[in-house]
Amino acid sequence: YSTHVIGKFKCYNNTYSKDGWASKKVAILIRGYPRNSYNALVFNQYCKSCTQLGTLILDKELYIN
């Protein structure tokens, strides 16, 4: 199942002062498996300042249910 979530990204490149950015469309791919298990593949985004991949920080409270 292909969908999207809301999240924030953190850039760990110390050269730039930008801490991170918010995104209202983070692409994810959810795969279901037998016995009600699943995994989710998150497609990260690139930092516009340094072009390195940011790390997703997901607001778990928003998606707890």
pLDDT greater than 70 at residue 17: no
Q: What is the mean pLDDT of the chain?
A: 86
pTM above threshold 0.85:
no
Angle at 38 between CA 33 and CA 40, to 5 degrees: 130
CB-side exposure of 30: number of CA atoms within 13 Å? 10
Distance in angstroms (rounded) separating the CA atoms of residues 48 and 54: 10
For the chain, the residue count is: 65
